[in-house]
Structure 1
Amino acid sequence: MEVRDVHHAYRQRVVLRGIDIRLRAGTLCGIVGENGAVVLNDALTVRQHLTFFQRAYRLADLRCAEQVMDVLGFAEYADERAAVLSGGTRQKLNVTLALMHDPQVLLLDEPYQGFDWDTYQRFWELAARLRDTGRSVLVVSHLAYDTERLDELWRLDDGLLRPDQAVAA
């Protein structure tokens, strides 16, 4: 994936000032910047979210989603409404929705926010497996934990993206 000269602002607040980024296949990358937000429909259950995205992606079945749910350890929440899920379980659902169509490029904003330690470890194992199968994974976070797990790291500062020297490419 390659993007060039991306600009974005929230009203008067400029957050991206001409961002260029190239994400190579089979790479696990990170961007450290300001805190982001995640949005689910609180009225829908986990299963309803899966069904909605299954239809949107035109998937024959939910096999991939069910595998991700098993890996992240939250299959028992299938009939719970998103409104009653903990922050960590909401994130598990977001990661599942992002992965259920088996994408070649995965962009994740604050994917492990609210995860317990076990799920946090499972997430990074899953990300490494995706990288090892040739997929590109970009994790955006406001915290730079576990940078040794990354192949590349960039810092978003004042709307500009700069390589971080902490991780060797």
Structure 2
Amino acid sequence: METTTAPTETVGGSKTLVRGNALEKTYGSRLPLGRSTPVLTGADIEVHAGEIVGIVGENGSGKSTLMKILVGVLNHDAGTVERHGTVGWCPQEPLLYDRLTVSETFRLFGAGYDMTREEIDAAKQRLADELDFEQYLDYRVDQLSGGNRQKVNLSVALMHDPDVLMLDEPYTGFDWETYLRFWDMAQDLANDGTAVVMISHLIEERSRLDRVFEVRDGLVHDVTDEETESELRSDPEGGT
């Protein structure tokens, strides 16, 4: 098992920002005589600068497992992961602290990103305006609706201008207007060279994605130009 910072490489003129090679992951049973479950059995994936990538697959296929490994929050059993540049991660379940206000949440995550106070305030105002939650900056997280929680969850993944943005169904709970605004933001980020990688479950989104990878039978298949028969819905409980 190995994770490294990748040297700058180009594929077709675009930098390779994330690469996973021969990734393997097996979940063991918590029961003494239970069966282990192999999820990834040699998965390969590359992500390039300036592209919007979708990861699809059946429930339990390993989509979230793959993303967590690429982000670096989950260890893999075998294979290598290479990353070049900074990473922002927006998990399906918001990793926010209920007792903090939205402004305090920005200060907490900004400090973790080693941002200055001025940089934090500028990012907070920009994202609150773009995603329309400026009126909730002084609210505690536990006072927010599900949709506004998700806006903050997405914002703290974006606030440090990452080179790679990893998103696990980032628009859960968004209204239609915010959903469309999200896709405008994703396209703007890609135009500026950011790689946007998301677990996607809506067939209608295929036209918005530059490349589509399907996680199937422990491997990652490039199905950009294919029609998949998978149920393109993520496990609502997180799954794998």
- Give the TM-score taking structure 1 as reference length: 0.88
Offset of residue 166 of structure 1: 4.4
Offset of residue 59 of structure 1: 0.7
Structure 2: which amino acid aligns with 1:5?
A: A
2:2 counterpart of 1:17: no
1:165 and 1:99, CA in 2 relative to 1: closer, same or farther beyond 3 A?
A: closer
For residue 23 of structure 1, give the secondary structure of its aligned residue in structure 2: strand
Structure 1: which amino acid aligns with 2:190?
A: R
2:149 counterpart of 1:90: yes
Cα distance in 2 for partners of 1:9, 1:81 equals 38
2:88 counterpart of 1:29: no
For residue 80 of structure 1, give the secondary structure of its aligned residue in structure 2: coil
Cα distance in 1 for partners of 2:192, 2:135 equals 28
**What percent identity do the matched residue pairs reach?**
41
Matching residue within 153, 158, 179 for 1:120: 179
> What is residue 101 of structure 1 aligned with on the other side?
160
1:163 and 1:41, CA in 2 relative to 1: closer, same or farther beyond 3 A?
A: same
Structure 1: state its 5+ residue gaps.
none
Matching residue within 41, 57, 76 for 2:135: 76
> What is residue 159 of structure 1 aligned with on the other side?
218
Structure 1: which amino acid aligns with 2:173?
A: G
Cα distance in 2 for partners of 1:6, 1:46 equals 37
> What is residue 3 of structure 1 aligned with on the other side?
20
Q: Deviations over 1:50-96 (max 9, x none)?
A: 11111111111221232122111112111222223222211111110
Structure 1: which amino acid aligns with 2:47?
A: L
Cα-Cα RMSD: 1.9
User: Which structure has the larger Rg?
Assistant: 2
Number of aligned residues:
167
Q: Deviations over 1:97-153 (max 9, x none)?
A: 111000111111110011100000000000000000111100113444411011001
Structure 2: state its 5+ residue gaps.
1-17, 29-35, 65-91, 227-240
- Give the TM-score taking structure 2 as reference length: 0.64
* Contact in 1 for aligned 2:186/2:196 (Cα 8 Å): yes
> What is residue 99 of structure 2 aligned with on the other side?
43
Structure 1: which amino acid aligns with 2:162?
A: P
